[in-house]
A and B are shown apart, each in its own frame.
Chain A
Amino acid sequence: SAVISQKPSRDICQRGTSLTIQCQVDSQVTMMFWYRQQPGQSLTLIATANQGSEATYESGFVIDKFPISRPNLTFSTLTVSNMSPEDSSIYLCSVEDEGLGYTFGSGTRLTVV
């Protein structure tokens, strides 16, 4: 099964700034998914990232606010831009894993003050 290293695990940021979250996978994967999770709530898909193409964003999420990079088959970043307190959340990356369905990173807990 794939192992995902997600960084940072948590951060406290000033409003108006940006934070880039990194996910490194120990194997090559075609698709990576980025989710947002409000504390104690379900996961909301932000976008799907394929290597070599632009990410596909879900309704309500735009590239200017959440730019994603996918430079190779083992790495992706999600940037939360021009942050406001409403962006405070847990951000998770995920990959499709044949053995386990989907594997998740440990999450990034973001607080915007």
Chain B
Amino acid sequence: AQSVAQPEDQVNVAEGNPLTVKCTYSVSGNPYLFWYVQYPNRGLQFLLKYITGDNLVKGSYGFEAEFNKSQTSFHLKKPSALVSDSALYFCAVRDASGGSYIPTFGRGTSLIVHP
């Protein structure tokens, strides 16, 4: 079985400050990990993914995420937040070991960046 947890319903940060949106996961084998962003009244947009290789993954709009196998985490980060980053963020996991080809999504974290 695979699962993902986003422990924070909402993250508030001031514009220009660094931001972190947390994600932890559980899979039987190795994970494929994803971050998506959803703006109001829009579908989900891909930000970045971890498949293999470097633990630090860089993605769209200046976002990055660090894969930490020992802590089973894949936190999303950005050095300097923008008001336009305010949106709903979803972490997703899929077992790379041939199990389900269907990703499991977290419940989402609402990021609010204050001017």
Q: Which A positions have Cβ atoms within 8 angstroms of B?
A: 6, 31, 33, 40-43, 45, 48, 92, 94, 96, 100-107, 109
Contacts and interface: CB of A to CB of B under 8 A. Distances in A.
B98 to A, nearest CB: 14
Contact of B101 (A96, A105, A107): A96
A93 to B, nearest CB: 9
Interface stretch (B18-26, B38-46, B62-70): B38-46
B1 interface: no
Given A33-B102, A42-B90, A48-B102, A106 B42 contact: yes
A61 to B, nearest CB: 14
A14 to B, nearest CB: 23
A6 B101 contact: no
A104 B44 contact: yes
Contacts of B106: 42
Interface string B94-115: 0000000111011110100000
Contacts of A101: 32, 34, 46, 49, 92, 103
B44 A40 contact: no
15 contacts: A31-B101, A40-B88, A40-B110, A41-B107, A42-B105, A43-B44, A43-B105, A92-B43, A96-B101, A100-B49, A102-B103, A103-B46, A104-B44, A106-B43, A107-B43
Contacts of B108: 40-42
Nearest to A92: B43
